[in-house]
Structure 1
């Protein structure tokens, strides 16, 4: 759902005839995620999310930009698989190479695309199994590795105040999670992570 919303925004803003080409000044931007929302994990309850990271990008005078961004996403949730109750504490670390183009002068619109160059994760979880005899339950604390592959799409609005600019945008990560454990293979698949991004830039 989040991916469709972002694509609609990209199409609408990307083809506005009133938007001007980028002005002839270079920019250096620093950004950080301020909020995150995960796509639904089927059957998950009591979900909480945290995110940290940074992004740095240089935008050339012709409007094209090249950047690097790193995100650490943490999620806690409960899940039941068969008769087994799982409590997850999951963390993923992803690093992207970002390409972008900037429209506008004082008010700017930036469209970006990122490729996941390095991504990994781990899931710590408590596995509680129901037994037919006393003590009737058994809990084991386990850890699993996660392999990540994916892409990112972004839409950023900027406002220049002299030689300084403020930015705010949305960034969607579409990432395939591959859990090493066969127990967690039911969670293998593609997940969307939607971030709100804020930043500051310098114009040269």
Structure 2
């Protein structure tokens, strides 16, 4: 069979990223100047890889990234897919790092990876299995819309991409920092069989 590749792309840097905030779904965070340069750099890389179709999270920072990528590679307008939205971090959304660490400590949570593991008892945080399920549906839709042998790019967020890959690779979500997804960078995965992923490349944007 002719295989497809999916590029799981994290959006470029936003003003909130620069402030070291945990940003989920709240607020229309814009890309900053570094993020704009990162997106162009990423677009040139994806153009050389032959990626010509994009689906994106509806959040502003992801949509901005997607349009820059589309303009750079000369693709059709990116399609917004609600399933690519960032994980709902509930009470933690918008916290700066000191507040996040302090809040997690008071709840008895490990801080080796403070944006990673959240136990199911925290009912306001989206369960990781729900994130994995919707992200799987999103990438499968993306692959279904390209020709055999073509590649699709999906623009999402660190929390969602990491959750998906933990699930795909059988990594326990409590394992800290098994994967780090950098801004305006990607994880290239092969689709060897329907519903399966294998990791082929982790590319880190040189603009940091």
User: Which TM-score band applies after superposition, normalised by the shorter structure?
Assistant: under 0.3
Richer in helix (by share): 2
TM-score, with length taken from structure 1: 0.27
Structure with greater contact order relative to length (CA < 8 Å, sep ≥ 6) = 2
TM-score, with length taken from structure 2: 0.26
Richer in strand (by share): 1
